[in-house]
Each structure stands twice: as structure tokens, then as C-alpha cells.
Structure 1
Amino acid sequence: MALAKKPVTGMKDITPAEMQIREYVMNQIKETYRGFGFSQIETPCVEHIENLTSKQGGDNEKLIFKILKRGDKLNLEAAGGENDLTDSGLRYDLTLPLSRYYANNAANLPKPFKALQMGSVWRADKPQRGRFRQFVQCDIDILGDATSLAEIELILATTTALGKICPDNGFTVRINDREILRGMALFCGFPEESMDQVFIILDKMDKIGFEGVEKELLESGYRKESVDTYLDMLKNVTKDAAGVRALGDRLKEIMPLEVSENLAHIMDTVTEVAEAEFGLEFDPTLVRGMSYYTGTIFEVSMEGFGGSVAGGGRYDKMIGKFTGMETPACGFSIGFERIVTILLDNGFEVPGASDKKAFLFEKGVDSAALAGVIREAMAERRKGVQVLVAQMNKNKKFQKEQLSKEGYTDFKEFYKESLKK
């Protein structure tokens, strides 16, 4: 039986042309984030199953690629269920492994610690455009800083990177706070124990709209007065810092004023100092599904692409799950695969790429002649030129067309007769 040549569903092979773009994007992100003082780390792709299933990852915990126990530990006969067969799994994001990493290494790390992580993650999700089962995440996190400086730095670093990579694609940062979400719901009369269900419905806003949210809230048994007040508040709050402060004043009997003031301060500061061109707006419907978020949350949407291209927020309680001591933490993740998809769709070409030459020699040249070709190639390489040395195919035209797709612009052909001279 022939082996399967297509990749596993949800995974993909990457061509040299796409790989060039991916490396360019990665380098732009790394260079930008290092300029903001972030230090690159790496965590294993395999994580303890008890960490992955600790109710920190929301719906992602339903999408884990679990790994069977090995050797004598794998006892199929004695297994009472799936949990007896697995002890680890592939990480579904970089945040949970980072929290474990920090808990394990905090004594040897600066405080606050500004971490940069780039690596593959795996989710058994339904593949679609820009979404794969294996994909790269690019995360920056600030651990040990409870002040709004963490959010400000994360937003500035992320928007600076996006501004460099996609200067012609307008994008908008939407920002909210989980405490504001809770304060609004309580103000409108939703019971405390119903917060999660209300937010799950609200999170569908971009798909089903206000009418759909209203219908689901009413069908869930909530009072019409509460639903009407809630939707009216969501529709009429303004999206600037002034709107945040006005909302905070309205909720002051339910929520401390410092919550709204902190968010407004973040918006004011980012607007004042940002160098990239982007929109920044308060979005009271922004939920973000991860259950580990405790405060500020943000997403980035880009013109011409449905869904977000970056997102993150504050998760002050996760590290405490490992250490027993709460540590303030905040992070922002760029949707690397979505950015690459946008660039590929736009016919993006890597700027400032080094010259690429192809030296094609005729079949049958002797070793001395071939050595001369290689010596010439080596001289070009010392000058910083990328040189491919390859034997000439029978269909030379097709060979050059394929090489042109990989960025080769200069071709030099070597024939047996001319090399003898």
C-alpha cells in the first residue's frame, strides 16, 4: 500500500516562497519586541495533561491532542477510561506553558519579566481559512507588573510590529475589561451566578448581532427589563476614553471607579504616544473566551479579514495555580498564520531581499569544470549574494520558471564547450 503523500488534516506543507515570507514576519516581530525589552524563551511543545485540563483554557481544553502513556505505564487492560491512558498532550497555546515556566524559574528571572515566545501550538479544531490544527503563535507577556504600564507596553509593541508588517492594512485595537463586563451585567439585574452564561451569549455578538443576543438572553429566561437595559447600554456607550469614564461613573455603585479610570488611562496614553497608524476603541461587547482573563482584554481586527488577527489580556490568577501565590500577568498574541495569509493573498514580496542567482551547468561537465563553476559561486556568496548551483534540466525553460517563483532573478548558464576554453 502506498504511503499517504498529503499532510494530516489541518496541517500543511510550506513552500519555499511562503517560508521566505514567514521568516520575514518572524524576524520583524522579534526585532520589534526585543526593542521593547522582551527576552525570548522557549517551552516544550508537550505539557502535563493535568496542566492542560486545569480549566484555564476554556473551550481549548476540548481540543487537546492527547499523548498516550509509554511502555509499562500504558496498561490497556487495567484502564478505566481515557484519563488512565494519557499523561501529557501537545500545548494548545503558549500562555499556560509560560505560567508553568515562570513558576519553575522565577527565582532566576528579573521582575517584572518581559517574555517573548514564538512556537507551534496544536488544537483539534475544525480547519478553515487562516486556521489550522498546527499553527504558530507569537506571544509577548509581562509577568510581575500589576500596573497599567504592562497593557500600554503590550499594545504599543504589538501595534508597532503590525504597522511594520502590514503598513497598508488598516487595523483597530478593541479594548475592554472583564470587571466592566461584570459590572454592566450586575447593574442590569443579571444574577451573579449567571455571568458566564450571559458572557457566552454576548460573545456571539459579531456573528448574530444585537437581535440574536437579545433573542438568546430572553430564551435563557432572563427578565426582559434586564435584557433591554443591557442592550441599550451596550449600544449607546461611546467608544473613546471619555465613554469609558462616563460608563464607570454610571456603574460606581457596582464597580470601583478605578477600574474604568485605569482603562481610560491606558487608552489616553496609547493614543498619545503610539507611532503606528491604527484605531483604538472601547468595545463593551468584547469578551474573549478564555476563562483565565481577570482584567483588561484586547483584540485587533484588520480590514479585509474576518475575525481577529491578535488578542490578549490580563490573567493575574493563573501563575498562582502553580505557586499558590498570585502573580500579576498580562499578554498579547499575534495570529501569525492569519497575518501570513493576509500577506499571501495580497501578493506580498519580502522587501530588501538579497540578490538570488542561479548557476545552471550542462549535464556531463567534468570535475575540473564543475569546480570552476563552484569557485565562481563561492566568490559571489562572499559578497552576500545567494547562489544556487544546479545541473541544467532537459526542460530548462520550466526549470527557470520554477526558480523565478522562488525569487531567483539572475541566471547564468555553463556549457561543456565553453567551460573547456
Structure 2
Amino acid sequence: MPLTKKPVTGMKDITPAEMQIREYVMNQIRETYKSFGFSQIETPCVEHIENLTSKQGGDNEKLIFKVLKRGDKLNLETAQDENDVTDSGLRYDLTLPLSRYYANNASSLPSPFKALQMGSVWRADRPQKGRFRQFTQCDIDILGDPSNLAEIELILATTTALGKICPKNAFTVRINDRGILFGMARCCGFSEESMDSVLITLDKMDKIGFEGVEKELLENGNARESVDRYLELLRTVTRDAEGVKALGETLKDVMDPAVCQGLVHIMETVKDVAETDFGLEFDPTLVRGMSYYTGTIFEVSMEGFGGSVAGGGRYDKMIGKFTGMETPACGFSIGFERIVTILLDNGFTVPGAGEKKAFLFEKGIGSGELAAVIREAMEERKKGVQVLVAQMNKNKKFQKEQLGKEGYGEFKEFYRESLKH
């Protein structure tokens, strides 16, 4: 029986043309983030199963690729369920591994610590356009800084990177705070035990709209008066810093005023100093599903692409799960695969790519002639030219067409007769 040549469902082979774009995007992100003072680190792709299932990752914990125990530790005969045969799993994001990394290495790291991570993560998700079971994430996180500077720097660094990579695509940063989400719900009379359910429904706003949210809130047993007041508040609050200030007045009896004041400070500072052109708006319906967020949350939406292309927020309690001591933490992740998908759909070509030449030699030339071809190629390479040396195919036209798709714009042909001179 022949081996299967297609990749596993939800994963894909990457062509040289796409790989060139991926490397370009990754380099742009890396260099931009380093210019903001972030230091690159790397964590293992396999994590302890108890860390992955610690109720920090929300629905992602249902999508873990679990790894079987090995050797004598794997006992199928006595196993009662899958927990008895697994001890680790592939990471579903980079935030949980970073928290473990920081807890393990904090004594040798600066404070605050600005971390940059780029790597593959795995989720047993339903594949669709721009969504795979293995995909790359690009994260920046600031650990140990409780001030608004962390959010400001993260937003500026991320928008600067996106502006370089997608200068023709308009994008908007939407921002909210978990404190405001709970404050609005309390102000409208929802009970404390219903809060999580209310936010889960609100998180569906972009899919089911106001009518869908209203219907689900009522079906879940919430009072009509609370639902009506809630939806009215969501509809009327303006999406700018002034709207956040006004909301702070409305919620002053149920929420610490510092929450809205902090969000206003972040928004006004970012708008004041940003050099990249992008939209920045307060979005009272932004929830973000991760249960580990404790404060500010943000997402980036890009024109012509459904869903977000970047997202993050503050998660001040996660590192404390490892150390027993709370550590301020805030992060932003670019949806690398979605950005690459947008660029591919737009027919993007890497700007300023180095010159690429193909040296094609006739079949049957001698070793001396071949050495002459390679010697000339080596001279070109010293000048910074990318040179491919290959034997000329019978269908030379098709060969050149294929090489042209990989960016080779100049061809030089070598024949036995010409090489003899």
C-alpha cells in the first residue's frame, strides 16, 4: 500500500513562493518588535498536560493534541480514561508557555521583561480559510509592568509592524476592559452568577447581532428590564475616549473609576504619538473568550478580512498560578497565518527582494565546463545575487515559467560549444 502524500487534515505544505512571503513577514515583525526593546525567547512545543488543562485557555483546552506517556509509564491495561495515558500535549498558544518560562527564569530576567516569541502552536480545530491545526503565532508580552505603559507600547509596536507589512490595508484597533464589561452588566441589574453567561452571549455580537444577543439573553432567564437597559447602553455609548469618560460616570457606583480613566489614558496617548495610520475605537461589545484576561483587551480588524488579525490583553493572574505571587502581564499576538493569507490573496510580492538569476546548462557538458558555470555563479553570489545552477530541461520554456514563479527574473544558458571557448 503506497504512503499518503497529502498532509494531515488542517496542516499544509508551504511552497517556495509562499515561504518567501512568510520569511519577509516574520522578519518585519521581528525587527519592528526588537526596535521597541523586546527580546526574543523560545519555549518547548510540548507542555505539561496539567498546565495545558488548568482552565487558563478557555475553549482551547478542548482542542489540545495530547501526547501519550512513553515506555513503562504507558499502561493501557490499567488505564481508566485518557488522563491515565497522557502526561503532556502540544501547546495551543504561546502565552501559557511564556508564563511557565517566566516563573522558571524570573530571577535571571530584567524587570519588567519584554518578551518576543514566534513559533508554531497546535489546535484540533475545524480547518477553514486562514485557520489551520498547526499555525504560527507572533507574540509580544510585557511582564512585571502594572502601568498603562505596557498597553501603550504593545499597541504601538503591533500597529507599527502591521503598517509596514500591510501599508495598503486599513485596519482598526478595538479596545475594551474586562472591568467595564462587568461594570456594565452590574449597572443593568444582572446577577453576579449570570455574569459569565452574559459575556459569553455578548461575545457573539459580531455573529448574531443585537437581535440575536437580545433573544439569547432572554432565553437564558435574564429579566427583560435588565436586557433592555443593557442593549440601550451598548447602542448609545460612543466609540471614542469621550464615550469612555461618559461611561465612567454612568458606572461610577458599580466600578472603580480608575478602570475608565486608564483606558482613556491609553487611547489618548496612542493617538497622540502613533506614526502609523490606523483607527482606534472603544468597543463595549469586545469580550475575547480567553478566561485568563483580567483587564484591558484589544483586537485588530482589517478591511476586507472577516475576523481579527491580532489580539491580546492583560492577564495579571496567570503567572501567579505557577509562583503563588501575582505578576502583572500584558500581551499582543499577531495572527500570522491570517496576515499571510491576506497578502497571498492580494498578489503580494516581497519588496526589494534581491536579484535572482538562473544558470541553465546543456545536458552532457563535461566536468570542466560545469566547473566554469559554477565558478561564474560563485562570482555573482559574491555580489549578493541569488543564483540557481541547474541542468536545462527538455521543455525549457516550462522550466523558465516555473522558475519565474519563484522570482527568477534573469536566465543565462550555457551550451557545450560556447563553454569550450
TM-score by length of 2: 1.00
Q: Provide the residue aligned with 2:329 in structure 1.
A: 329
**Pair 1:119-2:104 in alignment:** no
The alpha carbon displacement at 1:418 in A equals: 1.2
* Identity within the alignment, %: 83
Aligned to 1:91: 91
**Equivalent residues in 2 for 1:45-84, closer than 5 Å:** 45-84=45-84
Residues 1-20 of structure 1 correspond to what in structure 2 (within 5 A)? Answer: 1-20=1-20
Match of 2:408 in 1: 408
Runs of 4+ in 1 over 2 A off after TM superposition: none
Cα distance in 2, alignment partners of residues 187 and 375 from structure 1 = 77
Give 1:194 deviation, angstroms: 1.0
Q: Residue type of the partner of 1:366?
A: G
Q: Structure 2 counterpart of 1:8, which letter?
A: V
Find the aligned partners of 2:88 and 2:126 in 1 and give their Cα distance. 22
Equivalent in the alignment of 1:35:
35
What corresponds to 1:169 in structure 2? 169
Cα offset, 1:112, TM superposition:
0.1
Once the two structures are TM-superposed, the CA of residue 193 in structure 1 deviates from its matched residue by: 1.1
Residue deviations 1:90-122 (CA, integer Å, cap 9, x gap):
000000000000000000000000000000000
Q: What are structure 1's unaligned runs of at least 5 residues?
A: none
Distance 1:411 1:227 in 2: 69
Query: How many Å apart are 1:281 and its aligned residue?
Result: 0.2
In the aligned structure 1, how far is the partner of 2:191 from the partner of 2:75? Answer: 47
State the Cα deviation string for residues 320-339 of structure 1 (Å, max 9, x = none).
Answer: 00000000000000000000
Give the counterpart letter for 1:375 in structure 2. Answer: R
Q: In 2, distance between residues paired with 1:259 and 1:400?
A: 61
> What is the rounded CA distance, in whole Å, between the counterparts of 1:241 and 1:145 in structure 2?
23
1:288-344 CA-to-partner distances (Å, cap 9, x unmatched) read: 000000000000000000000000000000000000000000000000000000000
Matched ranges for 1:12-411 at <5 A: 12-411=12-411
Q: Cα deviation per residue 1:217-274 (whole Å; 9 max; x = unaligned)?
A: 0000100000000000000000110100100111000001110000010000000000
Specify the SS of the correspondent of 2:176.
strand
Cα distance in 1 for residues equivalent to 2:242 and 2:397: 64
Aligned equivalents of 1:131 and 1:93: distance in 2? Answer: 14
Distance 2:204 2:236 in 1: 19
Q: State how far apart, in whole Å, the 2-side matches of 1:246 and 1:216 are.
A: 28
C-alpha distance in 2 between matches for 1:282 and 1:129: 28
CA distance in 2, matches of 1:315, 1:60: 16
> Secondary structure at 1:141's aligned position in 2?
strand
> 1:67 is paired with a residue of what secondary structure?
strand
* Cα distance, 1:417 vs structure 2: 1.3
1:272 alignment partner, SS class: helix
Q: Deviations over 1:115-159 (max 9, x none)?
A: 000000000000001000000000000000000000000000000
Structure 2 letter corresponding to 1:117: Q
The DSSP-based 3-state class of the residue aligned with 1:357 is: strand
Code of the aligned partner of 2:176: N
SS in 1 for 2:167: coil
Hey, what's the Cα distance between the residues in 2 that align with 1:268 and 1:414? Answer: 63
Distance in 1, matches of 2:418 and 2:71, equals 63
Please give the per-residue CA displacement for 1:36-70, whole angstroms capped at 9, x wherever unaligned.
Answer: 00000000000000000000000000000000001
| Per-residue Cα deviation, 1:368-400 (whole angstroms, up to 9, x for no partner) | 000000000000000000000000111111000
**What's the offset of the Cα at 1:347?**
0.3
- 1:132-187: per-residue Cα shift (whole Å, max 9, x none)? 00000000000000000000000000000000000000000000000000000011
Letter of the 2:188 counterpart:
C
AA partner of residue 351 (structure 1): P
Partner Cα separation in structure 2 for residue 239 and residue 157 of structure 1: 22
Which one-letter code corresponds to 1:148 in the other structure? Answer: N
CA distance in 1, matches of 2:232, 2:410: 63
Q: Distance in 2 between the 1:192 and 1:294 partners?
A: 16
* Structure 2 residue matching 1:117: 3-state secondary structure: strand
SS, match of residue 115 in structure 2: strand
For residues 402 and 69 of structure 2, the distance between their equivalents in structure 1, rounded to whole angstroms, comes to 45
Q: What's the secondary structure of 2:89's corresponding residue?
A: strand
Distance 2:390 2:171 in 1: 44
SS at 2:121 equivalent: strand
SS in 1 for 2:135: strand
Q: Secondary structure at the match of 2:96?
A: helix
Matched position secondary structure for 1:332: strand
CA distance in 2, matches of 1:340, 1:357: 26
Residue 128 of structure 2 aligns to a residue whose secondary structure is coil
Distance, in Å, in 2 between the alignment partners of 1:164 and 1:408 is 25
Cα deviation for residue 72 of structure 1 reads 0.7
Gaps of 5+ in 2: none
